[in-house]
Structure 1
Amino acid sequence: MAHTRVDDLQAFLAVARDRSFTKAAARLGVTPSALSHTVRALEERLGVRLLARTTRNVAPTEAGERLMRSVAPLFDQIAAEVEALGELRDKPAGTIRITCTDDTIELYLRPMLSGFLKRYPDITLEVFVDNGFTNIVEERFDAGIRLGEAISKDMIAVRISPDWRLAVVGAPAYLERCSPPRTPHELTEHACINIRHRPSGAIYAWEFEKDGQAFTVKCEGQLVFNSIVHVLNAAVDGIGVAYVPEALAAPYLADGRLKEILSDWCPYFQGFHLYYPNRRQTSPAFSAFVEALRYR
């Protein structure tokens, strides 16, 4: 073990985390064959097999899992300490990786981005659109954005929005052509524009509430997106009715391109929160980003 290099351990961790030589090699800036050779040499020196390889998959063996559990936190701590040295700089610096949905970008990130980036020219933001429930620890994101009620208790959550509601909307031309529904149950007779958050997930069932009774309606239609922005655009184009964040539809409601229906049935939801692991060592750059997003 005395002859095991730090670079070899980092190479192993990259492959074990990504479960792919190709992905890990791209992230490390080496070729897959060179990375494979490095890991095999490490296995030979240790005398144990660390990765189980098939033609399609790569996964840690029992020994590999044990090495990951013991070594990975140490490398994470080193990275955090190095990043924390940014406190000695005049300005916060570094890269912040965020995962969130497209509507949260439009509503909460986009309004602050220009001013934030001008104020902190040494900070780089990487924003990944993902409508699923990404594990930010496994995927190595610094933080994510979700509804407060969907965040696990082992995370720190910072509110970035007020409570909000969805609105059922349709273009005037569509609502003239098809009589507006009087209750959510009548939506089954309409062309509804739906969203499926993940390929393997179900189509979102529209949530309503009346007199304290909550219920859902499974709406049908010819269009299904995984982006709420495109759902909204299809409604503006008169293809059907959509259930979208009220704030996102507000400009179209104001200029008459959309009309809201069934407003008395649409409940409020808990606001969006920026969340991150409670063991994370917050850098000056990340702290500045949190404060810029914090709801006041």
Structure 2
Amino acid sequence: MLDNLRGMAVFASVVGHGSFSGSARELGITTSAVSQQIRSLENELGVVLLHRSTRKLSLTEAGESFYEAARDMVSAAEQGRIKVNQLRDELAGSLRIATTPELGVHHILPALSTWMAAHNDLSITFLADNHYVDLIDERIDIAIRMSPSIDDLTLSNHPLSDVRQVLVASPQYLRHHKKIESPKDLNEHQLICIDIMKDASQLDFVQTETGKKTRLKMSSRIHTNNVFMALTLAKEGHGVVRMMEMDAKNDLANGNLVEVLTGYQLPSFVLYAVTLNREQQPAKVSRCLEVLKKYFHAG
């Protein structure tokens, strides 16, 4: 089948140029190679397509009929190539982005909103979930993750931002409970546990000035798998909560939450955009990555 299609393309080129030599120049092959393609096609079809003479070429009746099909095939292939190039080089088609609900609402949508509005030919799907998403199975173009994809050669990691973890509580909670001046004071407090975090109730502190490390496991009677829920519980005074600073940024700025143990640091993370590993990314993916990097760098 592929040989036939190749032969049809050569045949259409020969007829279009009116000569084997003109077709050879267009296709970048030898005249004898063009002649061989036509002979093979005629043998396969069992008919003569071209009358050959030393002065010119002319189509047989079968050749005239077959030329229409060959020309339409070449035209369809060219249109297909143009569409593929548009999807590769233009901001068109579909773009599928996987993120968490919290990152999506607080950062990814604000980062991309203006860019999305400027490109009406782009159809965008957001998958907001806290579970790991397989980029190939779900046809994901960009996944936003707090950890890189390790030892997976099919994926590329694009760092977006360093992200601090913070321990926060509401002013109301801090007024009515024992002061938190060192990590050991947390033994008298309840942690609102976000179960999507690894070792959710275990806290590892490093004292900023001395570098002294402290590990402790907090008591927790309230659990959730959602950062929005944890934020609300903390603001209503139900305990302290460990979360990414970017998720608590607005509430810290307006005073709804207060960072505790500011002289200590929890482990930081890197926020990544993960894509399929390609030599050349489609323009829609490359441009989206540029917008995300600019947003997080500015932040």
Task: Identify the TM-score tier after normalising by the shorter chain.
Answer: 0.5 to 0.7
Q: Which runs of structure 1 show a deviation greater than 4 angstroms over 4 or more consecutive aligned residues?
A: 213-216
C-alpha distance in 2 between matches for 1:83 and 1:222: 56
Unmatched runs of 5 consecutive residues or more in structure 1:
1-80
C-alpha distance in 1 between matches for 2:168 and 2:179: 10
What is the aligned partner in structure 1 of residue 16 from structure 2?
none
Amino acid across the alignment from 2:149: I
Is this contact kept in 2: 1:98–1:127, CA < 8 A? Answer: yes
C-alpha distance in 2 between matches for 1:138 and 1:173: 46
- Whether 2:264 is the aligned partner of 1:244: answer no
CA shift for structure 1 position 94: 1.8
What is the aligned partner in structure 2 of residue 53 from structure 1?
none
- Helix, strand or coil at the partner of 2:96: strand
Superposition pairs of residues 1-150 of structure 1, within 5 angstroms: 84-87=84-87, 91-148=90-147, 150=148
Structure 1 pair 243–92 and aligned structure 2 pair: CA distance change class (3 A): same
C-alpha distance in 1 between matches for 2:121 and 2:105: 23
What is the aligned partner in structure 2 of residue 164 from structure 1?
163
What is the aligned partner in structure 2 of residue 231 from structure 1?
230
C-alpha distance in 2 between matches for 1:214 and 1:86: 54
CA shift for structure 1 position 119: 1.2
C-alpha distance in 1 between matches for 2:133 and 2:215: 25
C-alpha distance in 2 between matches for 1:178 and 1:231: 19
Superposition pairs of residues 273-288 of structure 1, within 5 angstroms: 273-279=272-278, 282-288=281-287
C-alpha distance in 2 between matches for 1:194 and 1:82: 53
What is the aligned partner in structure 2 of residue 182 from structure 1?
181
- What is the root-mean-square deviation in Å for CA atoms of aligned residues? 2.9
Is this contact kept in 2: 1:86–1:284, CA < 8 A? Answer: no
C-alpha distance in 2 between matches for 1:108 and 1:249: 12
C-alpha distance in 1 between matches for 2:88 and 2:98: 28
The C-alpha deviation readout for 1:141-171, integer Å capped at 9, x for no partner, is 22211235x322423122222x221111111
The worse-fitting range, judged by mean Cα deviation, of 238-247 and 125-134 is: 125-134
- Helix, strand or coil at the partner of 1:272: strand
Aligned residues: 212
CA shift for structure 1 position 275: 0.9
Unmatched runs of 5 consecutive residues or more in structure 2:
1-80
Structure 1 pair 216–129 and aligned structure 2 pair: CA distance change class (3 A): farther
- Whether 2:152 is the aligned partner of 1:151: answer no
CA shift for structure 1 position 205: 2.9
C-alpha distance in 2 between matches for 1:182 and 1:88: 56
C-alpha distance in 1 between matches for 2:123 and 2:204: 37
C-alpha distance in 2 between matches for 1:282 and 1:110: 22
Within the candidate set 195, 204, 209, 2:206 is matched to 209
- Helix, strand or coil at the partner of 1:110: helix
Identity of aligned residues (%): 25
CA shift for structure 1 position 134: 2.9
Is this contact kept in 2: 1:168–1:242, CA < 8 A? Answer: yes
Structure 1 pair 205–100 and aligned structure 2 pair: CA distance change class (3 A): farther
The structure whose Rg is larger is: 2
Superposition pairs of residues 253-268 of structure 1, within 5 angstroms: 253-267=252-266
What is the aligned partner in structure 1 of residue 271 from structure 2?
272
Is this contact kept in 1: 2:204–2:267, CA < 8 A? Answer: no
Amino acid across the alignment from 1:160: L
Is this contact kept in 1: 2:88–2:283, CA < 8 A? Answer: no
- Helix, strand or coil at the partner of 1:294: helix
- Helix, strand or coil at the partner of 1:160: strand
The C-alpha deviation readout for 1:225-249, integer Å capped at 9, x for no partner, is 1121221121111111111222332
